[in-house]
Chains A and B, each alone.
Chain A
Amino acid sequence: MESIGVLLVGRVMPYLEQELDKRFKLFRVWDYPNPAQLPSQHVAAIRAVVGSSSAGADAALIEALPKLEIVSSFSVGVDKIDQEKCREKGIRVTNTPDVLTDEVADLTIGLILALLRRICECDRYVRSGQWKHGNYKLTTKFSGKTVGIIGLGRIGQAIAKRAEGFQCPISYYSRTEKQDSKYKYYPSVVELASNCDILVVACALTEETHHIINREVINALGPKGYLINIGRGKHVDEPELVSALVEGRLGGAGLDVFENEPAVPEELFGLENVVLLPHVGSATVETRTAMADLVLGNLEAHFLGKPLLTPLV
């Protein structure tokens, strides 16, 4: 398969990059001065694109690669892939579901605890020597707080299961009510936000869920409410979020994703009621390796004419 061209459009772990390089003819988008104009010999060879949460395949790229057969994303979210276009052209699309569900759910709980109990601030307090001059202030208890989840898919359910261990009542919003769910359903995000302490964004990014967290939702969550985003940055109207935090209209936010990664709004760096992470939801050696194996497995299956492991299209 060494003659099969694979275009890597986003940064991935070294193991995956090395394996792709070993097994295929690997092209890296950042090696080109103008990624929009790839040399024609390379274009002719490229039959696969490997994307990530930060880069995928939009209509323009798909059009520019006439030999493209498959887009395999090193992520579960595929909001950066034009699935409709792929469907139209018979291009397969795969992602990495299930292998990262636990990882993202673990991080979500960690993010909630870090925010409510000010773990990062306390760590800074000790490292800067301030503890010698007095105790850190009172923080907010997590156990027993109501957790509202937007999107009760694999990740949403895994978060709920963990939060239940802390005696947290769980409520949720999703496109349709889940008949077999024991959790309380709210038909709108605003109602969910009005009735929970901690609001977690755990749904896929689509046209409908773009800026699902807007000013109205943020105000409903309120000065004692907390927002946790482990979905995509574009789920949140970021300037609205920033002004709410700066003005004290929202209690705090734990953010693993941002609208324009790697850019983070400057104002957030000065706040002690936010926890900021560089998109590490699935970032462990174990899980990224499993995700990488899924990408490689899907590509191999495709080029050997076998059924894909985790196809979306």
Chain B
Amino acid sequence: MAEEAYNSSSEMKGLPKVLVLGPPLSFSSLQPLYSHKFHFLKPHLSDLSLQHFLQIHHPPSIAAILCSPNYSVTAEVLRLLPSLRLLVTTSIGTDHIDLRECRRRGIQVTSAGAIFSEDVADMAVALLIDGMRKISAADRWLRTQNRHNTPWHLFPLGSKLSGKQVGIVGLGRIGMEVAKRLEPFGCIISYNSKHKKTTVSYPFYPTVVELATNCGVLVLCCELNEQTKHIINREVMLALGKGGFIVNIGRGGLIDEKELVKCLMEGEIGGAGLDVFENEPRVPQELFEMNNVVLSPHAAAITEESFMNMCEVAGGNLEAFFSNKPLISPVTLPE
């Protein structure tokens, strides 16, 4: 019976199969655009486990996966698909994928590439200005306390951004876009990255602690991997200092979140603008009482414009793969 279902659905369509894991947020927009080109298999609509779902759909015929950034594509998942050759994630981040296993198996991986860089950089600057100038705090104050006619001169002063030393952790595409935006504000940019970039004139610091010692602001723009997990720890935060501000638009795991909360409560750092957290959507309750933090629900890339681009890039990579053309946004896999 399972064989019949496979035969009728697959052969009727004759379309290449794409296993959808998650599903990605953009799938509802992507599906209508590409359902005439691909046969999307949707385990999320089934009560079955992934293993059982795949038994109905003849795993050896599945060459591609489309996944969301919160679906863990482990070696076990990959093992279920012996003929898998392509993994398309709708995110820039690939920390949810066992990239080593993909490399070992010869599976190509594509991400969202550069399409979000501008929106994510915009968010980094938004969180930074909001934190320094207390924009969300002021809007909140005006909508609540001011209705009791609290005089405006009693609202606390913010901190000047122009001329601040800003340290960028990870000077990749997004880091460069952030730097580009902050330069006209008169911010002085320096950075830490895995390797010094010869094409860039910003001062390089070989460790994040040295970067933090010499800056008043840190903007985290690097990917999350074994080397960068908890790269922002207590030592870094103490080096940044009491007036220091941290912006995180990378991954929650870049910061030791418990330490961050402690440092904020003790006044060891000035404030933070956070779009990502270690256990989303859970956010440490202590942050809700603070006026020197601004919190965002992992929304850095979630604009109407990015959404449309996300569908095009994901669909475009699938099309390229199945027509033997070069992939649009392939990810370099680690050794």
A interface vs B, CB < 8 Å? Answer: 11-13, 102-103, 106-107, 109-111, 113-114, 117, 119-120, 122-127, 131-132, 135-136, 138-144, 161-162, 164-167, 261-262, 264, 269, 275-280, 283-288
Contacts and interface: CB of A to CB of B under 8 A. Distances in A.
Contact of A280 (B126, B138, B283): B138
B135 A111 contact: yes
B295 A122 contact: yes
A122 B139 contact: no
Contacts of A277: 135, 138-139, 142
B140 A162 contact: no
Given A135-B302, A136-B299, A141-B305, A119 B130 contact: yes
A138 B296 contact: no
Nearest to B177: A143
Given A114-B126, A119-B294, A287 B160 contact: yes
Contacts of B126: 110, 113-114, 117, 119, 142
B197 to A, nearest CB: 20
Interface string B132-169: 11111011111100110101110101111111000000
Interface stretch (B35-43, B45-53, B182-190): B182-190
A162 B294 CA distance: 22
A276 B139 contact: yes
Contact of B119 (A111, A141, A275, A280): A141
B232 to A, nearest CB: 20
Nearest to A106: B161
Contacts of A102: 160, 162-163, 185-186
Contact of A109 (B125, B147, B149, B306): B125
A88 B123 CA distance: 51
Interface of B: 25, 118-119, 121-123, 125-127, 129-130, 132-136, 138-143, 146-147, 149, 151-153, 155, 157-163, 180-186, 280-283, 288, 294-299, 302-307
Is chain B's binding surface mostly helix, strand, loop or mixed? helix
Nearest to A12: B153
The 7 lowest CB-CB distance pairs between A and B, nearest first, are A110-B129, A113-B126, A102-B162, A11-B153, A278-B152, A126-B295, A131-B281
Contacts of A13: 153, 157
A126 B283 contact: yes
Contacts of B306: 141
Given A122-B296, A136-B299, A277-B139, A269 B147 contact: yes
B297 A122 contact: yes
Given A262-B152, A278-B141, A285-B160, 11 more contacts: A102-B160, A106-B162, A111-B135, A114-B130, A114-B135, A119-B126, A123-B296, A127-B295, A138-B304, A262-B151, A275-B135
A204 B298 CA distance: 39
A276 B142 CA distance: 7
Contact of A141 (B157, B182, B288, B304): B304
Contacts of B127: 119
Given A119-B126, A126-B297, A278-B141, A264 B136 contact: no
Contact of A119 (B147, B282, B296): B296
B135 A120 contact: yes
A139 B153 CA distance: 32
Contacts of B184: 161-162, 164-165
Given A114-B135, A114-B139, A126 B296 contact: yes
A161 B153 CA distance: 29
A278 B135 CA distance: 10
B129 A113 contact: yes
Contacts of B119: 141, 143
Contacts of B160: 102-103, 106, 284-287
B288 A127 contact: yes
A278 B138 contact: yes
